[in-house]
Amino acid sequence: MGKHITMRDIATKLGVSSVTVSKALNDKEGVGEELKQKIKETAKEMGYRINTFAKAMKEGQAYNIGVIIPERFATETQSFYLKFYQHLAKTLDSYQYSGILHILNTDDEDQLVLPRIYNEQKVDGMLILGQISNEYINLLNEIDFPIVYLDFYNEKAKADTVITDNFYGMYEMTNYLIQCGHSEIGFIGNIYATSSIQDRFLGYYKSLLEHKLVLNQDYVVNDRDERGNLIELQLPEKLPTAFVCNCDKVAYHLINKFHSLGIKVPEDCSVVGFDNDIYAEITNPKLTTVAVDIEEMSKTAVDLMISKLKNKDRQWEQVSVKGKMIHRQSVKKLVE
Amino acid sequence: MGKHITMRDIATKLGVSSVTVSKALNDKEGVGEELKQKIKETAKEMGYRINTFAKAMKEGQAYNIGVIIPERFATETQSFYLKFYQHLAKTLDSYQYSGILHILNTDDEDQLVLPRIYNEQKVDGMLILGQISNEYINLLNEIDFPIVYLDFYNEKAKADTVITDNFYGMYEMTNYLIQCGHSEIGFIGNIYATSSIQDRFLGYYKSLLEHKLVLNQDYVVNDRDERGNLIELQLPEKLPTAFVCNCDKVAYHLINKFHSLGIKVPEDCSVVGFDNDIYAEITNPKLTTVAVDIEEMSKTAVDLMISKLKNKDRQWEQVSVKGKMIHRQSVKKLVE
DNA sequence: CTGAAAGCGCTTACAG
DNA sequence: CTGAAAGCGCTTACAG
């Protein structure tokens, strides 16, 4: 490795001061154009790399943003949030920031342990990806640190929030099923588990209400326990003509269950999902679903974070990003 | 936010010097036990968080490791490397390091642009996850920076390397098929695309050789172009009784193709994969495959990185981590 | 056991 | 347009 090249090394070589080098490399005023170019060239030749830590210390900014994902969302085959992280990292990069991923393990969440990247001041702010406990949200409120919540909403969270428009997404999806002639429509999801599921359920319910359809409680099927772990689906004896699933993964499980019971999709029962993740493409038939706009949500979240960093006093806001319906083959048209 | 608490603040409050505070907080010698405890308590009360950048600058260490994933491995439904990243981040955390993910986009790879986290000295070393171009490897050799290559091997890469034991994994898998009575066994994969695929192919070939079975070139089917993009599979007219696929994803595509052609798995043709990723569980029937030990590989890679940081002169080495066979339902036994 | 001094590499006023 | 001085918050010798 050898010693690192510093601004002083460049300055010495060129017979100028390190202040001038700093100005030139940062395109600040107060350096002659000719000298500036010469300094930049020399820096390149010498393989100069800026020491972010010196800069960070001086400016009190880390140019890093933490991305916190609760452990239970990052395990197993669940790839959705990791894809989110990827887009976040990319967007952050365009602002000259880096993303540091921190998987928040369940113990730390329960015991209200803050991420090490926070305790070590490695990050200027944190993006919270996925629902965390109310107690943890309270903790985050207390520390008075730039936070943006992503993909879930909690009324206690006093910070910027970016969510998918779950309500209207599911509302539109249910409207579509009704247009297709369905009137017996079930919902799969634990409506107490997350506010996302709740909102999707309410969008579904609104559509039923508007069309004067009755909400049959037998058709509302739980899919997970309080911790978010999926459970075996308890289907009603008499099936509706369509099931609205709170997410593609559950739709996938439902369709597999149907297959094993000899029930055909969509002939015997239509199924729609939400998220447009990998599960939507691996079912047979492929799922009609609502696409979460991960890219747009990531951009929005990063924008909010950056603007929060620039202006700490800005009032926090909540942004809903529209999803869009993706039509595939899992819905049967009962009318033309 | 307000101003951050510093060691000096604690020192002033307690009427000691900041040197003593530093020693106490870092459990170094030279502070009375009683005073040390008092300092630690006070630090906690005051909500002290260490300023990593000051420490980093002083020590010349960032306590961050970059994880570089070429863009093409991180897109779409491909979740394998992101899972890897997750384990790496976790392992790094146990060493008090943080992982910074950098998706290396294809343009930067072609134009030999180094990651920003390197240029800004944000990281002490980089883990390269997935095959990159020879030119880029040369570039990495030149910069003389701690590098560990993960999940691929290239003879030009003069640095620590951690790979799955592709050769023996596929060798054992093919042996198993032969034990099951198969003698016409095909291979799916572009054997020029990556050294992983090459090694898996050679393991398969070794097994054939040992059992005096002929390698029928018609049974070796290409699955991707040079950039790693999957292409339509060109199956031979006469099928073998089993196909060994270089990865689960391709096995998944093969099985789908079989389904659409009315060919039943494993009745008409057995299929095995490699990786044990999500694709192994979403095929019907589920795949018999070789599990890559992501956790063990991540640990090994991080250990190598840490030891490299401690001793720059240590000779680099190559470590193969054993995978293990996962038996599911995609293989038909032709003999008992 | 405790602390004054120096320095890590940069940037920000300020002076010339 | 250019640069000397100070300081960001820590740690490392070194002195008492």
pLDDT digits (tens, 9 = 90+) for B16-72: 888 899 888 888 887 888 888 888 888 888 888 898 888 888 888 889 999 999 988
pLDDT at B267: 96
What proportion of chain A, given as a percentage, has pLDDT over 90?
A: 58
Planar angle of CA B331, B332, B333, nearest 5 degrees: 120
Hey, which bits of B108-170 come out as E strands?
125-129, 147-150, 160-164
Distance CA A141, CA A146 (A): 10
The average pLDDT across A312-325 equals 90
Mean pLDDT value across chain A? 90
| B56-110 residue pLDDT tens | 888 888 899 999 999 888 765 556 787 888 899 889 999 989 999 888 989 999 9
User: pLDDT grade, residue A153 (50/70/90)?
Assistant: confident
Strand ranges of the sheet holding B242-245, from the earlier edge strand across to the other edge: B220-221, B185-188, B242-245, B270-272
pTM: 0.80
Task: Name residues whose C-beta falls within 8 Å of residue A2's C-beta, 6 or more positions apart in sequence.
Answer: B144
SS3 for A206-242 is: HHHHHCCCCCCHHHEECCECCCCCECCCCCCCCCCCE
Chain C bases closer than 7 A to any CB of the protein: 1-5, 7-14
- Alpha carbon A232 to chain centroid, angstroms: 27
A64-163+294-321 CATH: 3.40.50.2300
User: pLDDT grade, residue A2 (50/70/90)?
Assistant: very low
Least reliable range by pLDDT among A8-12, A245-249, A258-262, B169-173: A8-12
Pick the residue from chain A with its C-alpha nearest to B125. A1
Which of A248, A255, A256, A282 to mutate to test binding with chain B, by most B CBs within 10 Å of its CB? A282
The average pLDDT across A29-54 equals 87
Distance between the alpha carbon (CA) of A137 and the C1' atom of C11, Å: 36
- The partner residue sitting opposite A98, judged by closest CB among B83, B86, B122, is B122
Q: Which residues of B touch A118 (CB under 8 A)?
A: 49
SS3 content of chain A, % helix, strand, coil (to 5): 45, 15, 40
User: What angle do helix axes A294-310 and A80-94 make, rounded to 10 degrees?
Assistant: 50
CA distances from B98 to A127, A193, B48, B94, B125 (A): 16, 31, 20, 9, 11
pLDDT at B254: 97
Which nt is closest to the CA of A11, judged by C1'?
D3
Least reliable range by pLDDT among A312-321, B253-262, B326-335: A312-321
Q: Is the pLDDT score of A36 beyond 60?
A: yes
Amino acid identity, position B123: V
Establish whether the CB of A46 is closer than 7 Å to any nucleic acid atom in strand C. Answer: no
Residue (of B85, B98, B124, B249) closest to A86 by Cα position: B85
Q: B100: part of which helix (H) or strand (E)?
A: strand B98-104
Q: What is the per-residue DSSP string for A304-332?
A: HHHHHHH-TTSPP-EEEEP-EEE--SS--
- Strand partners of residue B100: A100, B66
pLDDT at A3: 64
SS3 content of chain B, % helix, strand, coil (to 5): 40, 15, 40
pLDDT at A1: 38
Top CATH class, A7-49: mainly alpha
B57/A53 touch (CB, cutoff 8 Å), yes or no: yes
- Strand partners of residue A186: A243
pLDDT at B75: 64
pLDDT at B76: 56
Q: Which residues of A touch B278 (CB under 8 A)?
A: 77, 79, 278
Question: In this structure, are strands A318-321 and A160-164 parallel, antiparallel, or unpaired?
Answer: parallel
Question: What CATH superfamily classification does A166-292 receive?
Answer: Response regulator (3.40.50.2300)
Phi and psi dihedrals of A325, rounded to 5?
Answer: -75, 140
Distance CA A260, CA A241 (A): 18
Planar angle of CA A295, A229, A292, nearest 5 degrees: 15
Give protein residues whose Cβ lies within 7 A of nucleic acid chain D: A 15-17, 19-20, 23, 29-33, 35, 54, 57-58, 60; B 3-4, 6-8, 18-19, 22-23, 25-26, 28, 30, 50-51, 54-55, 57-59
- A247 compared with A278, residue with greater pLDDT: A247
pLDDT at A83: 80
Cβ atoms of A128 and A285 closer than 8 Å: no
Phi and psi dihedrals of A100, rounded to 5?
Answer: -115, 120
Residue (of B224, B259, B219, B251) closest to B235 by Cα position: B219
pLDDT at B78: 55
In this structure, the number of other CB atoms found within 10 A of the CB of residue A134 comes to 12
Distance CA B190, CA B131 (A): 14
Enter the tokens of residue B312. 């720059």
Q: Is the pLDDT score of B331 beyond 50?
A: yes
Q: Considering only CA atoms, name the residue closest to the C1' of nucleotide C11.
A: A58
pLDDT at A45: 87
The average pLDDT across A279-299 equals 92
Hey, which bits of chain A come out as E strands?
64-70, 98-104, 125-129, 147-150, 160-164, 185-188, 220-221, 242-245, 270-272, 289-291, 318-321, 324-326
Cβ atoms of A283 and A258 closer than 8 Å: no
Distance between the alpha carbon (CA) of B31 and the C1' atom of D14, Å: 16
Amino acid identity, position B275: D
Which nt is closest to the CA of A9, judged by C1'?
C9
Q: Considering only CA atoms, name the residue closest to the C1' of nucleotide C3.
A: B17
User: pLDDT grade, residue B1 (50/70/90)?
Assistant: very low
User: pLDDT grade, residue B2 (50/70/90)?
Assistant: very low
Q: A204: part of which helix (H) or strand (E)?
A: helix A195-210
pLDDT at A244: 97
- The partner residue sitting opposite B99, judged by closest CB among A51, A77, A101, is A101
Establish whether the CB of B17 is closer than 7 Å to any nucleic acid atom in strand C. Answer: yes
pLDDT at B115: 93
pLDDT at A17: 86
| A222-270 residue pLDDT tens | 999 988 889 999 999 999 999 999 999 999 999 999 999 999 999 999 9
Task: Name residues whose C-beta falls within 8 Å of residue A327's C-beta, 6 or more positions apart in sequence.
Answer: A288
Please state the domain extents for chain B.
7-49, 64-163+294-321, 166-292
User: pLDDT grade, residue B141 (50/70/90)?
Assistant: very high
Cβ atoms of A146 and A128 closer than 8 Å: no
What proportion of chain B, given as a percentage, has pLDDT over 70?
A: 98
Enter the tokens of residue A200. 């999707």
Distance between the alpha carbon (CA) of A54 and the C1' atom of C5, Å: 20
In this structure, the number of other CB atoms found within 10 A of the CB of residue B224 comes to 20
| B191-234 residue pLDDT tens | 998 888 999 999 999 999 999 999 999 999 999 998 888 999 99
Which of B122, B129, B265, B310 to mutate to test binding with chain A, by most A CBs within 10 Å of its CB? B122
Domain A64-163+294-321 shares a fold with domain A166-292 = yes
Q: Which residues of B touch A60 (CB under 8 A)?
A: 4
Enter the tokens of residue A126. 């944190």
Planar angle of CA B198, B202, B261, nearest 5 degrees: 75
User: pLDDT grade, residue B304 (50/70/90)?
Assistant: very high
pLDDT at A332: 96
Residue (of A86, A139, A138, A146) closest to A121 by Cα position: A146
Q: Is the pLDDT score of B179 beyond 80?
A: yes
Q: Is the pLDDT score of A23 beyond 60?
A: yes
Establish whether the CB of A10 is closer than 7 Å to any nucleic acid atom in strand C. Answer: no
Enter the tokens of residue B304. 């190598």
